[in-house]
């Protein structure tokens, strides 16, 4: 005998199966919309209340700077650790003679290999003679500065640097900095350890104040009273008299030939590569030999530019955004993909092997890449998505990407037609047998 209740259950189950099938079909993954459940405001267009309304407290001025966070693309999925920081909201330590602000791992957890400091010295302002447990790399962003240091043989170097120039001090070597007229100077420092702080350097004033007077006198073979007026507290940054000529300071410091150059005039160097898409200027261990732990690429990309999708298998990447605006998307296993907006004065960080793409530049951006593999800049490697896709038989690559080789062939030919800027064999990113840095116009 037919069971009415069982018949009703079968009908309901069939209807439910049809509904589930229809829903799955309606939400099927598509190109540019790859996830289930679907991600992003695009997939909530019919219900704007889910994404257009912020009910709680908010700061519109701040939110407007990060449109990719409030309305991420549909290709973003899950969440990555914060890879954005900024000098713009970093605490500024001010003393008579200058100021400094920093972004270290204490505030920017992801940045394990590099910390950064933004510093200003007035004309005559002095950053006290000091040294670190880490190496110091720097790029001048404004004005002029006189730097003084000694090498491991005790030979002094005194040099003047200007906007666009670099310096590099190996760990443990003492150095001092002084702003020159008329406007002083501003620069960004990078230490090759994310935990290094500008506030925990070894200072000459503190060292001398904590040496017994008789020992200090014996060390320099002078009377004890010669040191009775030394400062008992750190000076850090202080106002001094504007220095005289470079030649006079070099003579006073007994500068002799032979010391390894600690500066590199990036501002005067010819671009390693230049096309209608932009330019690349490089400072690495080949043309700046003393820089053993940090390499730099100053990249200028014209409006609408795209840094080709890439990753570094053995080096983290620290970025300082000097001018313009842009967006960066980071990809990691999971999958996880997060897009973030950047402006002048911001800092970005990409862990090794994480995929990265940068787009919609309006001006230029320098990038620092620190080699953590072997202490030599030639150990840094960049791999491009296009090269990874092309690495294998056509049949195999087609089975991976489901894109015919003819489509990729047309694109690669277009690169040489001026649609893309190609820069190959950059020692700071290349181990000798890999592709180099690529910039592509969209």
Q: Show which residues are catalytic.
A: 127, 130, 132, 136, 175, 198
Helix H or strand E encompassing 90: none
Other Cβ atoms less than 10 A from the Cβ of 329: the count is 20
Write down the residue that tokens 């005039």 correspond to.
265
Peptide bond preceding 248: is omega within 30 degrees of 0, i.e. cis? no
Chain centre distance of CA 322: 11
Residue 303 neighbours by CB under 8 Å, 6+ apart? 361, 362
Q: Alpha-carbon distance 348 to 83, whole Å?
A: 6
d(CA 416, CA 216): 66
- Rounded Cα distance, 217 and 235, in Å: 22
Q: How many Cβ atoms sit within 10 Å of the Cβ of residue 381?
A: 22
10 Å Cβ neighbour count for 156? 16
Cα 373 to the center of its chain, rounded Å:
18
Exposed/middle/buried for 6, CB within 10 Å: 0-12, 13-18, 19+? exposed
Please, is 406 exposed, middle or buried when counting C-beta atoms within 10 Å of its C-beta (0-12, 13-18, 19+)?
exposed
- Residue linked to tokens 């080699």: 371
Using CA atoms, how far residue 114 sits from 197, 290, 294, 347, in Å, is: 10, 18, 9, 11
- The token duo for 240 is 């001094």
3-state secondary structure of 4: helix
Phi, psi for 185 (deg, rounded to 5): -155, 160
- Matching residue, tokens 């099938």: 21
């Amino acid at each position: 005998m037919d069971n009415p209740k069982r018949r009703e259950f079968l009908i309901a189950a069939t209807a439910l199966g049809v509904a589930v099938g229809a829903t799955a079909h309606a939400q099927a993954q598509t190109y540019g919309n790859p996830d289930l459940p679907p991600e992003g405001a695009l997939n909530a267009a019919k219900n704007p209340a889910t994404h257009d309304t912020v009910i709680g407290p908010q700061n519109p001025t701040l939110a407007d700077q990060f449109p990719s966070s409030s309305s991420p693309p549909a290709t973003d999925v899950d969440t990555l650790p914060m890879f954005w920081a900024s000098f713009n909201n970093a605490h500024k330590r001010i003393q008579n003679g200058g100021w400094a602000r920093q972004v270290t791992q204490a505030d920017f957890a992801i940045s394990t290999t590099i910390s950064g400091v933004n510093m200003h010295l007035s004309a005559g302002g002095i950053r006290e003679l000091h040294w670190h447990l880490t190496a110091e790399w720097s790029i001048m962003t404004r004005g002029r500065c006189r730097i003084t240091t000694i090498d491991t043989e005790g030979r002094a170097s005194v040099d003047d640097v200007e906007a666009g120039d670099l310096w590099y001090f190996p760990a443990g070597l003492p150095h001092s900095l002084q702003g020159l007229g008329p406007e002083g100077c501003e620069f960004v420092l990078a230490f090759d350890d994310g935990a290094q702080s500008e506030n925990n350097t070894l200072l000459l004033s503190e060292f001398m104040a904590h040496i017994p007077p008789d020992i200090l006198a014996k060390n320099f073979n002078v009377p004890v009273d010669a040191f009775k007026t030394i400062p008992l507290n750190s000076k850090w940054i202080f106002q001094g008299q504007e220095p005289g000529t470079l030649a006079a300071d070099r003579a006073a410091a007994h500068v002799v030939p032979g010391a390894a150059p600690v500066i590199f005039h990036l501002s005067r160097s010819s671009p390693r590569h230049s096309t209608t898409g932009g330019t690349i200027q490089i400072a690495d261990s080949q043309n700046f030999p003393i820089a053993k732990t940090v390499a730099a690429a100053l990249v200028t990309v014209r409006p609408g530019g795209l840094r080709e999708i890439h990753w570094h298998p053995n080096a983290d990447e620290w970025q300082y955004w000097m001018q313009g605006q842009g967006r960066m998307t980071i990809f990691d296993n999971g999958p996880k993909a997060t897009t973030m907006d950047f402006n002048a004065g911001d800092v970005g960080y990409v862990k090794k092997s994480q995929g990265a793409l940068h787009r919609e530049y309006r001006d230029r951006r320098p990038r620092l890449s620190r080699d953590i593999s072997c202490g030599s800049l030639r150990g840094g490697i960049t791999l491009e998505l296009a090269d990874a896709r092309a690495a294998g038989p056509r049949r195999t690559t087609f089975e991976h990407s489901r894109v015919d080789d003819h489509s990729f062939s047309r694109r690669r030919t277009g690169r040489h037609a001026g649609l893309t800027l190609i820069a190959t064999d950059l020692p700071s990113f290349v181990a000798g047998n890999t592709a180099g840095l690529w910039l592509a116009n969209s």
